[in-house]
Amino acid sequence: MLAEFDLIRRYFVSSQEAASASNGVTLGCGDDATLLVPRAGQQLAVSVDTSVVDVHFPGDAPAFAVGHRALAVALSDLAAMGASSRWCLMALTLDQRQFADEEAAHAWLAEYAHGFHTLRQQHDTTLVGGDVTSGALSIGVTVMGDVPVGEALTRGGAQPGDLIAVTGALGGGAGGLALWQKGERDLGHPLLRRYLLPEPRLAAGVALRGLATAAMDISDGLMADLAHLREASQVGAVMTLEALPLADALESLLGREMALKAALSGGDDYELLVTLNADSLSEAQQRLAPLGLALTVIGQCREALGVSASDQSDLSGYAGWQHFSGDTP
């Protein structure tokens, strides 16, 4: 029989790491709450994400990928704010009925924890608490980071005339989902990695501080997330569709039309969508170059609200992901 506190101690508590005062943790896992010390001159950035089986990830996805992905999508919100990650909380609801026996459950948990901790350590993020309970598989992850006072990136700073740009490539998340639904299980495939093992752009967010006038991550699809940014900034946009950077192998898998749809509304890309003054573009691209990350201009902000394409293409069919639309991924 699985025991809650045994599972927490076995898979999620690192006493040596949690006891380190250098990471700002004065009281870590094991008490009713954790005690943290923010760094001087920094604001605390906090975000939470929930991942639900067969909504955000397939029920038969590898446990390592489930753990990685649950943390990655939460860290992506810190990246969009230009924050450095410091701490996280994780609440795991585990369905014991999905396992043949206790040995299978422990094997799944070990792989899940490995995926979660590998990414967590990669981004110097300390797990400082959480919960494990029984029920339909879902994971809630709260992330906390810091950003110098007054330097956070937000959705609300874009101005008419600003360029609209994205990091990396688009459509990979939707392409990977399509591959998975066709039976592909090789996580070495670049599209499947983009879907199940996304990489939060934390270093890019930090690099773009002071240059980006507005930013957010692309989780629900480019057009849906651009709509949020436009609303917050009270600007419109003209998009250059031929400039969209498509993920490797996406067009060969889906064809040009469906690849474009994946890039515009597929979601799960976790790239950064930013606006910036044209005079800042070159420096922004130079800052991202050491990260091996491109910054591609895909449009421009305008004063008139709404969005249109420079080639007059109809953009009305690219709404993006809605959790309460009745659709499934």
Digit-coded pLDDT (tens) for 186-225: 999 999 999 999 999 999 999 999 999 999 999 999 999 9
Query: Helix, strand, or coil here: 297?
Result: strand
Query: How many residues does the structure list for the chain?
Result: 329
Mean pLDDT of the chain: 92
CA distances from 286 to 11, 121, 293, 295 (A): 40, 27, 10, 9
Find the farthest-apart pair of alpha carbons in the chain and give their distance in angstroms, rounded: 62
In terms of pLDDT, which residue wins out, 13 or 89? 89
Is residue 108 within 8 A of residue 53, CB to CB? The reply is: no
Is residue 300 within 8 A of residue 238, CB to CB? The reply is: yes
Quote the tokens at residue 32: 């009713």
pLDDT at 87: 96
Where do the domains of the chain lie, and which CATH numbers do they carry? 4-148 (3.30.1330.10), 163-309 (3.90.650.10)
pLDDT at 13: 76
Q: How far apart are CA 32 and CA 298, in angstroms?
A: 48
Q: What is the mean pLDDT of residues 168-172?
A: 98
Per-residue pLDDT reduced to its tens digit, 215-242? 999 999 999 999 999 999 999 999 999 9
Q: What is the mean pLDDT of residues 41-52?
A: 97
Q: How far apart are CA 225 and CA 313, in angstroms?
A: 19
Q: Number of helices (H) and strands (E) in the chain: give both, helices first.
A: 11, 12
CA nearest 296: which of 312, 273, 279? 273
pLDDT at 327: 52
Q: Is the pLDDT score of 329 beyond 50?
A: no
pTM of the model: 0.93
Q: Is the pLDDT score of 323 beyond 80?
A: no
Q: Is 158 left (phi over 0), alpha (psi -120 to 50) or beta?
A: beta
Q: Which residues pair with 239 in a beta bridge?
A: 299, 309
| Banded model confidence at residue 5, pLDDT cuts 50, 70, 90 | low
| Banded model confidence at residue 14, pLDDT cuts 50, 70, 90 | low
| Banded model confidence at residue 8, pLDDT cuts 50, 70, 90 | confident
| Banded model confidence at residue 20, pLDDT cuts 50, 70, 90 | low
